[in-house]
Amino acid sequence: MNTSDLELFIRTADCGSITAAAGQLDISPAAASAALKRLEKQLGVELFIRSTRQLRITAEGERFLLHCRQAIDSLEYAKASIAEMQGEIAGEIRMSVSSDLGRNLVLPWLDDVMDDNPELSVQLSIGDSLADFYLDRVDVALRYGQPEDSSMVAFQLAMVDRVVCASPEYIEHYGAPQEPEELLQHNCLLYRLGDQIYSHWEFIKKPTETSEELVQKIRVNSNRVCNDGDIVRRWAVAGKGIALKSRLDMSADLKAGRVIELMPDYRVKPTSLWLICPSRKQVTPAVLLLRDVLREKCKTLIGSDRVTSS
């Protein structure tokens, strides 16, 4: 069987559309339809029930789909293993990255990896919505926050501080808050993931010789909300309000003075950065190289005490 036909079958099952699958593989719908019919003839069964309104996978197709995925994954792993034996990093990584990290940091980091390993290719998906590893055909995802699914293989890359920051222009016009309550008099730039808007900010007052650590929570006000973290960063740089962001996302802006860290007497609970694979099969030599490169890059930006080796 032609492996490209198997790949087309998987894409069609995931998309629920021959036309959509053909578009992803850059072939015509007619060629895709012919390839699926060729595959059905080889198997002697119908893989899809076709109608004018929908395409539905058959019971035989569902069973074949499971083995088909395993076969393609095994083939890719075998190719990567042979390349590793020859001292090469090769194959394809299908990677999902959040918007800020993807656009502003990971793109040049990936360029470095690929320049050093010309047999490596990458399919990159950038966005803040959580990737579905199977429907989105993703091998590895770079995300903040420890994954809840214990069946996944997750490498912690770094612990990352979060900072409250604003542009010098905003501070000059509206002043710099010193206490959490003062944020109520300011416009705070908010991030939305799905239906949840992160408008409740939690602060920890640093202990002194005369006082203990104190936790304060506040619900901030905003006239700007976005589901793209990079837009929140851009709003902050443009002087539209105060942002609560990861230090990694804001590292270049902080260094260049485009934003200034606020409220020095308080800290915000840090977050963790993880490289996540849906299963052990996706942990290829290329993924392990990527893990090591990302750890080293994070170490350079935020300090070795926040980077892990686990």
**136-162 mean pLDDT:** 85
For residue 24, pLDDT over 50 is answered with: yes
Q: What is the DSSP code (8-state) at residue 106?
A: I
For residue 58, pLDDT over 90 is answered with: yes
| Alpha helical stretches, state H, 44-121 | 59-85, 99-101, 107-116
H or E element in which residue 173 lies: helix 168-174
Highest mean pLDDT, choosing among 19-28, 154-163, 233-242, 248-257: 233-242
Alpha carbon separation from 305 to 109, 224, 260, 261, 310 (Å, rounded): 21, 34, 22, 20, 13
Residues 6+ apart with CB under 8 A from 258: 167, 237
pLDDT band, very low/low/confident/very high, at 84 (cuts 50, 70, 90): low
Q: What are the tokens at 62?
A: 């569902």
**54-63 mean pLDDT:** 90
- Domains (range + CATH), the chain: 3-73 (1.10.10.10), 81-151+275-306 (3.40.190.10), 160-271 (3.40.190.290)
Which tens digits make up the pLDDT trace of 254-309? 999 999 999 988 989 888 999 998 888 788 888 888 999 999 999 888 764 444 55
- Burial string for 287-307 (b: 16+ CB within 10 Å, else e) reads bebbbeebbebbbebbeeebb
For residue 163, pLDDT over 90 is answered with: yes
**Between residues 150 and 192, which one has the greater pLDDT?**
192
Q: Is 203 exposed, middle or buried (0-12, 13-18, 19+ CB in 10 A)?
A: buried
Mean pLDDT over each residue of the chain, to the nearest integer: 87
**210-229 mean pLDDT:** 88
**pTM of the shown model:** 0.68
